[in-house]
Amino acid sequence: MVPILIRTLGSKGSIIETRHDAMHIKPAKPKNTSDPTGAGDAYRAGFVAGYIKFGLKRGGLKGVTPDDLLVCGQMGSVAAVYTVEKYGTQTHTFTRVEFAKRYRENFGSLLSF
């Protein structure tokens, strides 16, 4: 009944389901593990940031493609890993450059916005 359903699976990544597809998103690799508190919220923030960016680029959210959703999920995975590495819910920070580097290290491609 929903166009997109996302299940986060902690250290096992996430699954993004649409009416037509289901894709598994591998987790980004943390440098260390300190505290998982807030990782789900950070994942959602990373996913939504990508979703909005792609929507703006594609002329509306209905233009977001399955490939775009994959990148959004990977962005969520990278955002979540920053949280896991620090104790507490909002103690992590990163720049766009750091985020893009971490994305490339984990998923082997550049973010294209």
Report how far residue 111's alpha carbon sits from residue 31's, in angstroms, rounded to the nearest whole number: 21
68 as an active site residue: the answer is no
* Helical pair 39-57 and 66-84, crossing angle rounded to 10 deg: 150
For 50, list phi and psi in degrees, rounded to 5: -65, -40
Residue 111 token pair: 């973010």
Q: Which of 21, 41, 67, 68 is catalytic?
A: 41
- Contact indicator for 78, 111 with CB cutoff of 8 Å: no
Residue type, 21: D
- Catalytic sites, residue numbers: 41
